[in-house]
A and B are shown apart, each in its own frame.
Chain A
Amino acid sequence: MPYFLAVRSAQALFALFGVATLVFMIQHLSGDPVALMVPEGATAEDIVILRREFGFDRPLGVQYLDYLRDLLRGDFGTSYIQNIPVADIVGSRLSYTLRLSAAALAIAFLVGVPIGIFAALNRGRLVEKPALALVLAAQSMPTFWSGILLILLFAVTLDWLPSSGAEGGSAIILPAICLSGLTMATFARITRNAIVEELGKDYVRAAYARGQKRLSIVLRHVSRNAAVPLISITALELANMLAGAVIVETVFAWPGLGLLAVQAIQANDFLVVQTIVLLGAAAYIVLNLTADILYGLVDPRIKAVGR
């Protein structure tokens, strides 16, 4: 286990470094990063001045080392458009995205797992079909389409919930449902397959032989073993949600990082976009690492040596 931990952590660190490098390369792909950071209509003199101010006139290697050093110190630069440190801008929105993701994760878990259990216990029967259809629909619907349907039904037609913004406690409900769809489907699928697999094992037959009822077998024995894949997939799903939030937040005008990224794109505020991408990738890498570690912790049989 310690060896596995060390190898995986080293891989994660390398990936973080690689992501930072990749973003730096993309930034310089267009030849002139200054053009990405000034408002439209900036004059040629402004650009020359800014190029010097940002240090884009120095050798690329020096810029790269500077960039890495700043990142390590948690300095993401200052937005030229808003004249505020990028870290402050991003920080003010972070809690919205975290809250939205947490709510969506809770919904996905509370809906997806029971559906998965239900489908597994009724495998192959007719009553399983609607459950599977719901899972397939949740999986195939793009969030910007399901979001629009949710708004049409609950905000426009029924007028029960607000369609956008973050005012009041009920505003989070629709975006959270929308964001939870894909994860709900994943939870349902994983739960179903895990339980189906466990039900075929010897210990279940032994429990039947001892005269235990099916429901008690599932709840007492099967659920513990079936939870193994679920636990590690949760971290992965959370990572996917943080990325999916970009579109969901845009649909519902939820003021989190995703909406901030879209607003920054429109305002030509490249440093903000870059920071959100870096944070998103970092969260993704860390959560992936967490998933692997959790997997090793809950299932002692796994002694993976890297991938």
Chain B
Amino acid sequence: MTGRSLRLPPGAIVAAALIFAFVALALLAPLVAPFDPNRQDLFARLKPPGTVGRDNVYHLGTDELGRDILSRIIHGAQVSLLVAFVSVCVSLTVGTALGIMAGYFRGWVEVVIMRLADIVLSIPALLLAIITVIVLEPGLLSLIAVLGFTRWPRYTRVAYGQTLGVATRPFVVAARFHGASAFWLMPRHILPNILNPLIVVATLEFGLMILFEAGLSFLGLGIQPPTASWGAMMSVGRNYLSTAWWIATYPGLCLSILVLCVNLLGDTLRDQLDPRSDRR
């Protein structure tokens, strides 16, 4: 990437702006949300969008307990982004470290790490997450732990493949002959040279993690009530589709837009950062 600046197409700029808007909403949630997300008003249950409440307008309607959908969506964005961000950081760090070690040391280290990665990857991710969450008890922390734990092999495989290519290059070999130890060399010389493809994977994984959080919460295994989460809102709204379509529809719309933007951005980054990707 040396000296080459990123040139983003207009679609990606819009996507980035929307993601930024979601992040800003999530960070400022207590300030911008018109209501307390958990405030119940049993006289204002299942009100359609635009209903005028006692002290404010329910722009997107209310749910089965009379809570404001808009406020819950804004607070739900916090959960979504927090879980996705932290779990991507965890799996990126763990996965990259393991991948570099496997590619640098080779031998039994490589065998152990890569076979373990194969095994974890051979369980469908959602199933692995489900069974682990049950054992750990559902909640924010176990959600992050599970997602971090189940997704590291994705980074390990990329980091491993890249390290194999970099580890034999002259500057690494030269540093080694000058007495550089492996643990000095790996973060300084190998990591910066394999970072670009990892960033691409991390971006695409970020979208996937948002979906996973919502999916697990939809199944009742993620964020526990009454904390607002898009997946849980949709799961409740599923039961009211014929009478109150807005409960499930708006959180789903936000989720789809956010994931679409992240994927668009990820695809663009892949085209720009990864020289081997095909640009057809």
Contact = CB atoms under 8 A, between A and B. Distances in A.
Contact of B127 (A163, A193, A251, A281): A281
Interface in A1-34: 11, 14-15, 18-19, 22-23, 26-27, 29-30
B136 A23 contact: no
B119 A19 contact: yes
Contacts of A148: 234, 237-238, 241, 248-249, 252
Contacts of A285: 122
Contact of B130 (A29, A251, A261): A261
Contacts of B278: 193
Contacts of A104: none
Interface string A153-181: 00110000001000000000000000000
B115 A276 contact: no
Contacts of A14: 115
Contacts of A151: 241
A20 B148 CA distance: 21
A156 B241 contact: yes
A274 B132 CA distance: 10
Contact of B218 (A15, A18, A240, A250): A250
A247 B119 CA distance: 23
B234 A144 contact: yes
Given A144-B218, A156-B242, A277 B211 contact: no
Interface in B42-78: none
Interface in B232-250: 234-235, 237-238, 241-242, 245, 248-249
A267 B36 CA distance: 33
Contacts of A265: 130, 134, 219-221
A15 B122 contact: yes
Contacts of B245: 152, 156
A277 B127 contact: yes
B17 interface: no
Contacts, number: 132
A36 B133 CA distance: 12
Interface string B118-146: 11101111111011101111000000000
Interface string A267-307: 00010011011001100110010000000000000000000
Interface residues of B, number: 46
Contacts of B21: none
A136 interface: yes
B214 interface: yes
Contacts of B259: 140, 142
B280 interface: yes
Given A148-B249, A247-B215, A273 B234 contact: no
Nearest to A261: B130
B127 A280 contact: yes
B260 interface: yes
B219 A247 contact: yes
A281 B122 contact: yes
B159 to A, nearest CB: 16
Contacts of A246: 126-127, 130, 219
Contact of B214 (A36, A142, A251, A280): A142
A141 B257 CA distance: 9
B263 interface: yes
A164 B129 CA distance: 26
Contacts of B136: 29-30
Interface centre among A137, A145, A266 (most CB of B within 10 A): A145
B255 interface: yes
A243 B255 contact: no
Given A163-B241, A262-B219, A273-B130, A242 B214 contact: no
B231 interface: yes
Nearest to B278: A193
B256 interface: yes
B263 A140 contact: yes
B252 A142 contact: yes
Contacts of A19: 119, 122-123
Interface string A238-267: 011011101100110000000001100110
Given A246-B130, A250-B218, A281 B115 contact: no
Contact of A281 (B124, B220, B249, B280): B124
A151 B135 CA distance: 33
Interface string B220-234: 110000000001001
A86 to B, nearest CB: 14
A27 B256 contact: no
Given A19-B119, A144-B214, A281-B122, 15 more contacts: A11-B118, A15-B119, A19-B123, A22-B119, A36-B134, A139-B263, A145-B255, A145-B256, A240-B124, A246-B130, A247-B218, A270-B134, A273-B130, A277-B123, A281-B127
Interface of A: 11, 14-15, 18-19, 22-23, 26-27, 29-30, 36, 136-137, 139-142, 144-145, 148-149, 151-152, 155-156, 163, 193, 196, 239-240, 242-244, 246-247, 250-251, 261-262, 265-266, 270, 273-274, 276-277, 280-281, 284-285, 288
12 contacts: A15-B119, A26-B132, A36-B134, A144-B214, A144-B218, A152-B241, A152-B245, A156-B245, A243-B127, A266-B220, A276-B127, A281-B122
The 3 A-B residue pairs whose C-beta atoms are closest, nearest first, are A243-B124, A18-B119, A145-B252
